[in-house]
């Protein structure tokens, strides 16, 4: 079978022909149909991801496909079932073997591209906002990096969950995308005094931060008492330090959040969230923004779109 593999850390991945995989106990084999690309794939190539596999390994964290075979003692889903899975790797291949408890059946109305594109970006935002930050209708949600792959979903889901959403992104084009996703207010990230602007708009009950750096510090200082700040990532490269005395004075919670980590200790949190999201997609309440769909032979070009930040929303590889 074909597989887009990393054979050595820091070497460019390439398309290879490898032996077909077989499911073991507790596993399911899928005939992969689509796979979403992520910034984490670029980190894996360099060996810098939190859960980096040992080479050789096949890239592709989130996949959608058709159940092809069941391992011993696995009673479902039945072969032929359309499903999605966050596997962590293995999605950029004709077949993939995954733990059965990670498999989520798809409603008929959800196509494979949507299922592949939806999982990490929407799953991250949904578990973060609902399970972790307990976002309530009527609260004010500030999203930093609001036009990025996960930031855009936080805007969309925050609005769907009844929050007033303030989107922070860089440049008119990205702000327009955030506005289209449902933001009530948009602020350019280059605004000289972001803290003052957020205070003017009523401060934040929940901050969703995938950027770090100065944006984190400004939003942190513009939070309401009992606000919750979600530390999703630090795309700026600046990991902010948190003054504990400010936490005390304002009763603020800073919540570290790594979506993939739930698969190791509470996978049902993720699978239940994905089932909800797929149902919302089937009902037309959410729709991933997919800027590029490419064949497996162009997986390297897809990764370059992420590396150069030439994509908006998701890049999907179709098998």
The two three-digit tokens of residue 82, written as one number:
């359309």
Q: Does some domain include residue 267?
A: yes
Residues 6+ apart with CB under 8 A from 80: 66, 67
Number of domains composing the chain: 2
* Tens digit of pLDDT at every position of the chain (319 positions): 999 999 999 999 999 999 999 999 999 999 999 999 998 899 999 998 888 999 999 999 999 999 999 999 999 899 999 999 999 999 999 999 999 999 999 999 999 999 999 999 899 999 999 999 999 999 999 999 998 878 999 999 999 999 999 999 999 999 998 999 999 999 999 999 999 999 999 999 999 999 999 999 999 999 999 999 999 988 788 888 888 888 888 899 999 998 888 988 898 999 999 999 999 999 999 988 899 999 999 999 999 999 998 887 789 999 9
Q: What distances in angstroms separate CA 119 from CA 33, 64, 88, 125, one per listed residue?
A: 15, 10, 11, 10
Query: Which residues is 142 bridged to in the sheet?
Result: 166, 207
Nearest to 28 by CA among 62, 92, 76: 76
HEC string for 103-154 = CEECCCCCCHHHHHHHHHHHHHHHHHHHHHCCCCCCCEEEEECCCCCCHHHH
Beta-strand ranges (E) seen in the chain are 2-6, 14-17, 27-36, 57-58, 62-70, 82-86, 95-99, 104-105, 140-144, 164-169, 185-188, 204-209, 223-231, 253-256, 290-295, 314-318
Quick one: 96 and 176 in the same domain?
no
Q: What is the pLDDT of residue 41?
A: 95
Tell me the three state secondary structure of residue 102: helix
Quick one: 161 and 273 in the same domain?
no
Quick one: 210 and 115 in the same domain?
no
The model carries a pTM of 0.88
Quick one: 109 and 42 in the same domain?
yes
* CATH code for the domain in which residue 209 is found: 3.40.50.720
The two three-digit tokens of residue 83, written as one number:
């499903």
- The residue range of the domain holding 172 is 136-257
Q: What is the pLDDT of residue 5?
A: 97
* CATH code for the domain in which residue 287 is found: 3.90.180.10
Q: Does some domain include residue 129?
A: no
Rounded to whole angstroms, how far apart are CA atoms 167 and 146? Answer: 5
Q: Does some domain include residue 128?
A: no
Q: Does some domain include residue 131?
A: no
Quick one: 267 and 234 in the same domain?
no
Q: What is the pLDDT of residue 235?
A: 79
Quick one: 268 and 246 in the same domain?
no
The two three-digit tokens of residue 234, written as one number:
């630090």
Quick one: 230 and 291 in the same domain?
no
């Amino acid at each position: 079978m074909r597989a887009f593999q990393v054979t050595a850390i820091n070497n460019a991945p390439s398309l290879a022909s490898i032996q077909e995989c077989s499911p073991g106990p507790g596993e399911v084999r899928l005939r992969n149909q689509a796979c979403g690309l992520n910034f984490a794939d670029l980190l894996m190539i360099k060996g810098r991801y939190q859960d980096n596999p040992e080479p050789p390994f096949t890239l592709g964290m989130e996949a959608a496909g058709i159940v092809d075979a069941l391992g011993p003692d696995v009673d479902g889903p039945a072969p032929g079932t359309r499903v999605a899975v966050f596997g962590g790797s293995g999605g950029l291949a004709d077949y993939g073997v995954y733990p059965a408890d990670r498999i989520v059946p798809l409603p008929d109305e959800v196509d494979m591209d949507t299922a592949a594109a939806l999982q990490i970006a929407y799953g991250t935002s949904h578990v973060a906002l609902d399970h972790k930050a307990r976002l309530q209708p009527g609260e004010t949600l500030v999203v930093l990096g609001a036009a990025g792959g996960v930031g855009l979903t936080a805007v969309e889901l925050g609005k769907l969950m009844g929050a007033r959403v303030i989107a922070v992104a860089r440049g008119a084009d990205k702000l327009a995308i955030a506005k289209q996703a449902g933001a009530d207010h948009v602020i350019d990230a280059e605004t000289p005094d972001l803290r003052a602007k957020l205070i003017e708009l009523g401060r934040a009950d929940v901050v969703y931060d995938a950027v770090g750096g100065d944006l984190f510090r400004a939003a942190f200082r513009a939070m309401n008492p009992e606000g919750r700040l979600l530390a999703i990532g630090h795309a700026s490269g600046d990991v902010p330090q948190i003054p504990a005395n400010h936490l005390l004075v304002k009763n603020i919670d800073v919540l570290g959040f790594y979506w993939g980590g739930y698969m190791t200790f509470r996978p049902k949190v993720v699978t239940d969230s994905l089932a909800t999201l797929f149902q919302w997609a089937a009902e037309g309440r959410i729709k991933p923004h997919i800027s590029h769909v490419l064949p497996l032979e162009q997986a390297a070009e897809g990764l370059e779109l992420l590396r150069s930040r030439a994509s908006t929303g998701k890049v999907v590889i179709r098998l």
